[in-house]
Amino acid sequence: MAKIIVITSGKGGVGKTTSSASISSGLAVKGNKTVVIDFDVGLRNLDLVMNCERRVVYDFVNVINGEATLNQALIKDKYNENLYILPASQTRDKDALSKEGVEQVLNELSQRFDFIICDSPAGIEHGAQMALYFADEAIIVTNPEVSSVRDSDRILGILQSKSRRAELGEEPVKEHLLLTRYNPVRVENGEMLGVDDVKDILAIKLLGVIPESPDVLSSSNSGVPVIHNHESDAGKAYNDAVDRLLGNDVPHRFLNIEKKGFFKRMFKGSATA
C-alpha cells in the first residue's frame, strides 16, 4: 500500500510543481519506489520540469478512459530508477478526471509504489479537489505573502471537510506546511512574513522552508529538479524536507541571513546564521 501525498496550495504559481518534482526525486533517491502524477489537466508542466516532455505518449486521462495501460503511460525518470512520472492530459475538458477513474488508477499504482505524489492544479475547484480527495498526507505550499496564506487556509478547510478521509470520518489527512520563496533578508527588514508568523496563522506542522533562489529557475531551464543540485540552498532545503517527510528529525536551515565576508566577521557571535 502506497502513501498518497498531495502537494497543494489554493493559490497559483507558489511552487507546487517545483516542489512535486524535487520531493518525488528526493524520495526516489532515498530508495523509495515513487510515482508523481500531474493533476493539472490542460496545463501539463511537470513533464518539462522533470525533463521528459518529449517522451510523453499517453497520459493520465488516457489511462482513466482505458485508451492506454498504466505501463504505457508511466514514464521512467531520467535520473533515478525508483521514480516514474504520470503526465497530465492536455485536454480542455476540465472534468476529464472522475473520482472513480482517479481511484482506480491510484489503486493500481498503490500495488507497485511506496509513495504516490499528486501535483495539484491551482484553485479550489474540481481539479484541485480530485488531487487531494484520496490523500493520506498533504503538503501545503505557501509563499510568505497574504493571499497565499489565506488560500492555504482555505485549502486546509477543504482537506478537513471534502477529502475521502473526512467524508468517511477516518483519521484526518496529515497536514504539512512547506514555506517556499522565503527571503530572510526581507523578513529581517520587516517586509515579509516570517516563518513563525505563517506557522501561527495556519497552525500546522512545518515540513520545511525553501529559500528564494535563482537555482530554481536554472534547474527548471535544464529540466533537473533542484534537489539534485547539492550546492544549492534550495536543493539542500528540499532534501531536508524529504528527510522530515520520512520521519527524521532534521533541524531547519536557511531561516536567517547568511552574513558574508567582512559582515560575517563583524556580526560573528550575535548572528545565528
Partner 1 sequence: MSFLDYFKSTKKNTASIAKERLQIIVAHERGKRDQPDYLPNLQKEILEVIRKYVSINQDQVQVQLDKNDNCSVLELNVTLPE
Ligand X SMILES: Nc1ncnc2c1ncn2[C@@H]1O[C@H](COP(=O)(O)OP(=O)(O)OP(=O)(O)O)[C@@H](O)[C@H]1O
Q: Indicate which of partner 1, ligand X, Mg ion, none lies near residue 234 (CB less than 5 to 8 Å, by partner kind).
A: ligand X
Q: CB of residue 258 vs partner 1: minimum separation in angstroms?
A: 14
Specify burial of residue 68 (Cβ count, 10 A radius: 0-12, 13-18, 19+): middle
Q: CB of residue 169 vs ligand X: minimum separation in angstroms?
A: 31
Return the closest-CA partner of residue 208 out of 167, 173, 249, 159: 249
Residue 167: C-alpha distances to residues 133, 139, 162, 179 (Å):
10, 20, 6, 28
Helices 233-245 + 16-29 axis angle, to 10: 70
Q: Indicate which of Mg ion, partner 1, ligand X, none lies near residue 15 (CB less than 5 to 8 Å, by partner kind).
A: ligand X
- Is the CB of 151 or the CB of 240 nearer to partner 1? 151
By CB under 5 A, name the one of 6, 11, 14, 17 that touches Mg ion: 17
By CB under 8 A, name the one of 92, 100, 161, 221 that touches partner 1: 161
Helices 126-133 + 99-112 axis angle, to 10: 30
- Among the listed ranges 103-111, 172-180, 188-196, 210-218, the one in contact with partner 1 (CB under 8 A) is 188-196
162 in contact with partner 1 (CB under 8 A): no
Q: CB of residue 189 vs partner 1: minimum separation in angstroms?
A: 6
- Are the C-beta atoms of residues 90 and 82 closer than 8 Å to each other? no
Three-state SS at 117? strand
CA angle centred on 95, ends 92 and 99, rounded to 5° = 145
- Is the CB of 8 or the CB of 232 nearer to partner 1? 8
Q: Which amino acid appears at position 53 of this protein?
A: E
16 in contact with Mg ion (CB under 5 A): yes
- Among the listed ranges 11-19, 84-92, 102-110, 262-270, the one in contact with Mg ion (CB under 5 A) is 11-19
- Is the CB of 39 or the CB of 58 nearer to ligand X? 39
Residues at the contact surface with partner 1, assessed by CB under 8 A: 145-146, 149-150, 153-154, 157, 161, 187-194, 197, 200-202, 270
